[in-house]
Chains A and B, each alone.
Chain A
Amino acid sequence: MRRRMTSAPGESPVRLYHVSKSYMAGQFALQDVSLEIRRGEFVFLTGASGAGKTTLLELIFAAEQPSEGQIVVLGRNVARLGARAIPALRRRVGVVFQDFKLLEDRTVEENVRLALDVIGTPRREARNRVFSMLKSVGLQHRRFHHPRSLSGGEQQRVALARALVNEPEILLADEPTGNLDPELTLEIMDLIAAAATRGTTVVVATHDHSLIERYGKRWLRLEGGRIAEDLPATAGVERGAAR
């Protein structure tokens, strides 16, 4: 497997130093957040609606800039990143959303291939990589179908395939199972967990505490834009089980 190593080995791919984000004067979506996520680590992010989960993810993939503090993602300071440098960073960060964000007029294969098209991957290589990726999420037989003909779980697997086909160093998932039933939820979460075992740093924002119990990973709980709890993997299991 190809893997780019541009940040120094051992250097954490996500580091936040006293980061605040405010959309309106005096109202903070995130306030004084400092944290470090290590390479290959799997982190659950929880909190009530408006706690700052989505804002934190948006800051990591440079959709937003911090109002205060510094964010270093894969060795790049997001606060100082120019508009032209953002696409290069995003090619190294896969993102999955609750609403899948698939293009209805393109086939499954074309949707997944988007991530390879933007970097000018030759057509044959792109087709092979997309096929392998779809095979790994169990959808190779559906590659010529359009998203509308797929179930919710299948659509999320396509979105996951698109996020992972470029072998990103970080995978961010914002409520990836929010629209799925329990069985499909586990299917998707197993695929995400598998990415982490291959060395991808994974951050999953979720409301579903049962996932924290089941997977027993590091657990960050946000409250009012601040980190209320940061529990390591094992403690996460105990704490999740207690709720």
Chain B
Amino acid sequence: MNRALILIGIALANAARGIRRASTTSLLAVLTIAVVLVLVGSAWLLVGNMASLLDEFGAELGMTAYLDPALSEASQRELVARVSQEDDVATATLVTKEEALLRFEKIAGSGDLLSGLEENPLPPALEIRLVPAARTEAGVERVEAVLADLPGVTELAHGQEWIEGYARAIALVRGIALGLGTVLGLAALLIVANTIRLAIYARRDELDILALVGASRTFVRVPFLLEGTIQGLLGGLLALFLVFATFSLLQSQLEYGLELVLGRAGLAFFTKGQSIALVAAGAGLGLLGSITALVGWKGTS
């Protein structure tokens, strides 16, 4: 058998032995990583679902360009095609005078309000939805500048405050998630590093003996790195299970509440890729914790 494979097998056996031997501290490390990842995972799930809801609302935010009623139908269609080409524009829909009147009557509840007028006073309009990246003050200004130069556009209307509020809400939610994730991640890193340091201290006799019989630095260190990674992996799996169980328990109640308040109910759990990323984050945290513990440890002579 290849010597490298034999050494990897020995390192894995030594890592497993280390975890068994210090089962209490190992369990503590697994639970710490799990708790941190449950918090980070929950925040991630919350932010993900909030962002989806905000995106749904954001998709409805847009601009309306009122057109000159004298504009021919062909010119109106040309205008739609021209505006649709803009990168910041997701869709541009023409609302004719007749459609505008129908909408008004539907909102007002009857046609009585405008029945005294000889002709339809409502102008045709372009309803413009912006791509998510353009739902900012700058994005609105860019589209505004394009529309202002187009012949036939008489007036522009948009919910600027709504758009700015949306952008702020998204930035705030993402900022909180990032801050929370960083702080919790660092805390977990320190705890794992200290757990591994304790393990090294508890096993210094073994490390002395390994040094005596000619163990290389790699032979001594790799089991500790594996130990941290295994602990992190177990912590990540436990966290994923806990987040999934909690989500499954609360999903129907949360969706009912959201339906009542916002009229929307779609909550989604992590995708397969995101689930793997959460578990991998645990393994990475464990590995990084071990590396932190071993940095500065000179080993035995």
CB of A118 closer than 8 Å to a CB of B: yes
Task: Evaluate contact between A101 and B212: CB separation under 8 angstroms.
Answer: yes
Which chain A residues lie closer than 8 Å to B7 at the CB level? 120
* Contact A115 to B214, CB < 8 A, known contacts A64-B301, A103-B205: yes
Q: Which of A72-80, A87-95, A197-205, A218-226 contacts B (4 or more CB under 8 A)?
A: A87-95
Residue from B1, B4, B217 within 8 A of A122 (CB atoms): B1
Which chain B residues lie closer than 8 Å to A49 at the CB level? none
Task: Evaluate contact between B6 and A118: CB separation under 8 angstroms.
Answer: no
CB of A123 closer than 8 Å to a CB of B: yes
Task: Evaluate contact between A88 and B214: CB separation under 8 angstroms.
Answer: yes
Tell which of B7, B9, B212, B301 has the most Cβ of chain A within 10 Å.
B212
Residue from A88, A120, A123, A162 within 8 A of B213 (CB atoms): A162
CB of A117 closer than 8 Å to a CB of B: yes
Which chain A residues lie closer than 8 Å to B12 at the CB level? none
Distance from B230 Cβ to chain A, minimum over Cβ atoms (Å):
19
CB of A186 closer than 8 Å to a CB of B: no
Which chain A residues lie closer than 8 Å to B216 at the CB level? 84, 87, 118
Q: How large is the interface on B (under 10, 10 to 19, 20 to 34, 35 or more residues)?
A: 20 to 34
Chain A interface residue count, Cβ-Cβ cutoff 8 angstroms: 27
Residue from A61, A83, A114 within 8 A of B210 (CB atoms): A114
The residues in A between 57 and 105 inclusive whose CB is less than 8 angstroms from any CB of B are 61, 63-64, 83-84, 87-92, 95, 101-103, 105
CB of A121 closer than 8 Å to a CB of B: yes
Which chain B residues lie closer than 8 Å to A228 at the CB level? none
Task: Evaluate contact between A101 and B208: CB separation under 8 angstroms.
Answer: yes
Task: Evaluate contact between B6 and A87: CB separation under 8 angstroms.
Answer: no
CB of B259 closer than 8 Å to a CB of A: no
Task: Evaluate contact between A91 and B214: CB separation under 8 angstroms.
Answer: yes
CB of A150 closer than 8 Å to a CB of B: no
Which chain A residues lie closer than 8 Å to B17 at the CB level? 105
CB of B10 closer than 8 Å to a CB of A: yes
Task: Evaluate contact between A114 and B209: CB separation under 8 angstroms.
Answer: yes
Task: Evaluate contact between B212 and A95: CB separation under 8 angstroms.
Answer: yes
Task: Evaluate contact between B215 and A120: CB separation under 8 angstroms.
Answer: no
Distance from A30 Cβ to chain B, minimum over Cβ atoms (Å):
17
CB of A119 closer than 8 Å to a CB of B: yes
Q: How far is the CA of A172 from the CA of B233 in the complex (A)?
A: 44
Which chain B residues lie closer than 8 Å to A123 at the CB level? 6, 9
Which chain A residues lie closer than 8 Å to B6 at the CB level? 120-123
Task: Evaluate contact between B10 and A120: CB separation under 8 angstroms.
Answer: yes
The residues in A between 115 and 134 inclusive whose CB is less than 8 angstroms from any CB of B are 115, 117-123
* Contact A117 to B209, CB < 8 A, known contacts A64-B301, A88-B214: no
Q: How far is the CA of A121 from the CA of B10 in the complex (A)?
A: 10
CB of B162 closer than 8 Å to a CB of A: no
Task: Evaluate contact between A90 and B4: CB separation under 8 angstroms.
Answer: no
Task: Evaluate contact between A87 and B209: CB separation under 8 angstroms.
Answer: no
Which chain B residues lie closer than 8 Å to A166 at the CB level? 213-214
Task: Evaluate contact between B213 and A118: CB separation under 8 angstroms.
Answer: yes
Q: How far is the CA of A87 from the CA of B210 in the complex (A)?
A: 10
Look across to chain B and name the residue whose beta carbon is closest to the beta carbon of A88.
B214
Which chain A residues lie closer than 8 Å to B210 at the CB level? 114, 118
- Please list 21 pairs of residues, one from A and one from B, whose beta carbons are closer than 8 Å in the complex, sorted by A's number: A64-B301, A84-B216, A84-B217, A89-B214, A90-B213, A90-B214, A101-B205, A101-B208, A103-B205, A103-B206, A115-B214, A117-B10, A118-B215, A119-B214, A120-B6, A121-B6, A122-B1, A122-B6, A123-B9, A162-B213, A166-B213
Binding site for A on B (CB under 8 A): 1, 3-4, 6-7, 9-10, 17, 21, 205-206, 208-217, 219, 301
Binding site for B on A (CB under 8 A): 61, 63-64, 83-84, 87-92, 95, 101-103, 105, 114-115, 117-123, 162, 166
Given contacts A118-B214, A118-B216, A120-B10, 13 further A-B contacts (CB under 8 A): A64-B301, A84-B216, A87-B215, A87-B219, A90-B213, A90-B214, A91-B213, A95-B212, A103-B206, A103-B209, A114-B210, A114-B213, A166-B213
